[in-house]
Copies of this chain bind each other. A is one copy, B any other.
Amino acid sequence: MNNTPVTLKFLAEKLKMSVSTVSKALNNYPTINEYTKKRVQEMARDLHFTPNKSAINLKERKSRIIGVILPNLLDHFFTRSIYGVEQFATQNGYNIIISQSHDDLQKEIQSANMLLRSRVDGLIVAISKNTQDFSHLDQFENLGIPVVYYTRNPSFNLNCHKVLGNTFQGCYQATKFLIDRGHKKIAYIGGPKMINFTHDRFNGYINALKDNGLSFDADLVAYTDFDKENTISAIKNLFANPANNPTAIVAFKEPILFDAIKYLRNIKHPNINEIECVGFGNNSFISYLDSPPVASIEENPESVGENAISLLLKLINKEIDLDNYQKIMVDCKLVVHED
């Protein structure tokens, strides 16, 4: 229970020298005598001196903290992306404070304000489902604190920095893959229409069809808002009319496929073993499923995170101007599941 905190002043008194000498010695200033440095550094080590970050932040007018706001940590996409952010941030001497909005605008505003008070040097944010107004985030840019939107972003607004998964390319590739495997009737199950990239993915699907001489059939397309009931009914519709009879499915998200597969097994669909599925996610539990998806669209969340923090750091270091808005697309990778 060492009560007196070990500060520069404390070290200075012990060593009978001034606070500035101690500070400079620890920061390896060239004007400080080598022997003095050695003495100071040894004493600092022995007494477990730990520089007070608050004091440094106050003095340097920065915090070396990056704020991250995201909907939640239960979604593997986000936790994996955090991995990339943390890795890169730590390497560059930054810490991150993660704050979950739980897809609630009020909570997101609270988080933003808290991070503003903490004087974060930059912000990485995946907005909540119902963020329409951005004033709580705009305040950062108004103060010169860079903001990078990643994944979930204000799609209509071009005047912000964005790092996104190239969801068009991912969906295109997946559809093409199924076409190459001989499928002619490929169904598409999309996500909620208000989510940014619902459209991009759909376009990837459409374009792949067109580029490969398949015609688009509206009856092969369904949407779900991820609600289980909703998903099931979308799937039912898709298979209701025997004229459709898709032999393959591309899905917005893998869990949709899991529901689809379960449904098809339940109704004992005659072609269950021929139907091939691909979805966004690459969930590690796939290998335990009985009729697993043939492939997954891996969104490389770590890479998305790393690109976001890397861009943010460039903005912080003024290597890129704040108003020189960047948009970075991170390619997806099709992972084929052998068995």
How far apart are the CA atoms of A292 and B52 in the complex, in Å?
53
| In the complex, A35 has a CB within 8 A of chain B | no
Tell whether A73 pairs with B82 under 8 Å between CB atoms, given A119-B53, A258-B288, A285-B285: yes
In A205-228, the 8 Å CB interface with B consists of none
Say yes or no for A58: interface residue by CB 8 A criterion: yes
* This chain: copies in complex: 2
Asked if A326 lies at the interface with its beta carbon under 8 angstroms from chain B, I say no
Instruction: Report Cα–Cα, A86/B98, bound state, in Å.
Output: 10
A77-131 residues at the B interface, CB under 8 angstroms:
79-80, 82-83, 86, 90, 95-100, 110, 113-114, 116-119
Quick check: A117 and B83 within 8 Å, CB to CB? Answer: no
- The CB with the most chain B CB atoms within 10 A, among A90, A95, A96, A100, is that of A95
- Residues of chain B within 8 A of A289, CB atoms compared: 288-290
C-alpha gap A285/B259 in the complex (Å):
10
Category for how many chain A residues contact B: 35 or more
| Stretch among A139-147, A158-166, A183-191 lining the B interface | A139-147
Q: Is the CB of B116 within 8 A of A50?
A: yes
Interface centre among A55, A79, A258, A322 (most CB of B within 10 A): A79
Known contacts A2-B142, A117-B53, A119-B53: A73-B63 contact under CB 8 Å: no
Q: What are 8 A-to-B residue pairs whose CB atoms are below 8 Å?
A: A2-B142, A3-B144, A54-B54, A95-B97, A258-B285, A259-B288, A262-B287, A289-B289
Where the two chains meet, the residues of A that have a C-beta atom closer than 8 Å to any C-beta of B are 1-3, 5, 48, 50-55, 57-58, 61, 63, 72-74, 76, 79-80, 82-83, 86, 90, 95-100, 110, 113-114, 116-119, 139, 142-144, 258-259, 261-262, 265, 283, 285, 287-290, 322
